[in-house]
Structure 1
Amino acid sequence: MMKTNTTPQYTQDPSFKTLKKISTVMDEAITVPGTKFKIGLDPFIGIIPGVGDTISIIISGISLYTVARNGVPPRLIMAMTFNLIVDYLIGLIPGVGDFIDIFYKANRNNTQMLVNYYEKNPDAINQVQKGSSGLIIFAGLMFFLILGVVGLCFYFIRLVIFQSMGWE
């Protein structure tokens, strides 16, 4: 009797593999001993104020970029982007954000949405079908807000360092 391959074809796609690897590293790399709960590097990287969360969103953005190049619908890309923006904004809250980041797993959610899309589950993109143009505008505004906040943080850090050293 011939054995059939039950592995879905999309799991062999390089962009899916990239998303899955980044999702595992960032959200589920370590199993908490004695439980089934997993934690990734994202909350640990996020401990570094501002910079850590920026590094996390850049790493997560790499997987999003590879998936977007692969012809995934813009609505799904926007939903995945929204997950990353929410994760970034949560991480910016000192202390509390890092704790919440342990439970809010944007990369894992993105992987699941992509699996749902590949398996033709319409619920995968329902959340953005109602108002995708509004979500696009919101995501764009959030991106510029994040850039502004990070830029201001670096400006004030530089200002404080220069003033404390007596430089003008």
Structure 2
Amino acid sequence: MTTFALTAPNAAAARLRIARLEQLLENMVRLPIIGHRIGLDALIGLVPGIGDFAAGALGLYLIWEARNLGASTATLLRMLANVGIDTALGSVPVVGDVFDVFFRSNTRNLKLIKRLL
């Protein structure tokens, strides 16, 4: 696998982009009654048909950034599995919407990236 050579400033910028995207996708707003935070991943997932696939595509961006940072194939596959599970189970009507609130594939993937760095 070919990886891109990132200089220190570029790697720092990539880490910042990843953290900001994870914040947007998973922790954007607090639900008032239960106090749980949700983001665009759960909100976009409410759109029937394409919402979960659009959120999955945003999750794939984190995997692309991890690849550019030199993540191993095993880490990339684990990240892909997280996004795949989130997309597949999130696409189930009603139950999937609840699942999206609690299964945070992007947060899991950010933790994998932080371990890499």
Query: What range describes the TM-score normalised by the shorter chain of this pair?
Result: 0.7 to 0.9
1:115-134: per-residue Cα shift (whole Å, max 9, x none)?
1222xxxxxxxxxxxxxxxx
Q: CA deviation at 1:35?
A: 6.2
Match of 2:69 in 1: 70
- Kindly name which structure, 1 or 2, has the bigger radius of gyration based on alpha carbons: 1
Kindly indicate whether residue 83 of structure 2 is the aligned counterpart of residue 84 of structure 1: yes
Whether contact under 8 Å (1:19, 1:64) holds in the other structure is no
Match of 1:139 in 2: none
Could you tell me which amino acid in structure 2 is paired with residue 49 of structure 1?
P
Could you tell me which amino acid in structure 2 is paired with residue 75 of structure 1?
A
Partner Cα distance (1:33, 1:47) in 2 = 18
Whether contact under 8 Å (2:62, 2:109) holds in the other structure is no
User: How much is the aligned-residue C-alpha RMSD, in angstroms?
Assistant: 2.1
Name the count of aligned residue pairs. Answer: 109
Q: Give % identity.
A: 22
Q: CA deviation at 1:41?
A: 1.3
Partner Cα distance (2:50, 2:58) in 1 = 12
> Quick one: structure 1 residues 33 and 47, their matched pair in 2 at CA, closer, same or farther if it must change by over 3 Å?
closer
Match of 1:29 in 2: 28
> Quick one: structure 1 residues 34 and 88, their matched pair in 2 at CA, closer, same or farther if it must change by over 3 Å?
closer
Partner Cα distance (1:36, 1:52) in 2 = 24
Q: CA deviation at 1:36?
A: 5.3
Whether contact under 8 Å (2:79, 2:109) holds in the other structure is yes
Partner Cα distance (1:33, 1:97) in 2 = 21
Could you tell me which amino acid in structure 2 is paired with residue 74 of structure 1?
T
Whether contact under 8 Å (1:27, 1:41) holds in the other structure is yes
Match of 1:42 in 2: 41
Q: CA deviation at 1:57?
A: 0.9
Write the mapping of 1:15-164 to structure 2, written as runs, cut at 5 A. 15-33=14-32, 37-118=36-117
Larger RCO (alpha carbons 8 Å, 6+ apart): 2
Partner Cα distance (1:14, 1:62) in 2 = 14
Q: CA deviation at 1:17?
A: 1.8
Match of 1:121 in 2: none
Whether contact under 8 Å (1:29, 1:39) holds in the other structure is yes
1:87-114: per-residue Cα shift (whole Å, max 9, x none)?
0011110111011110000001100111
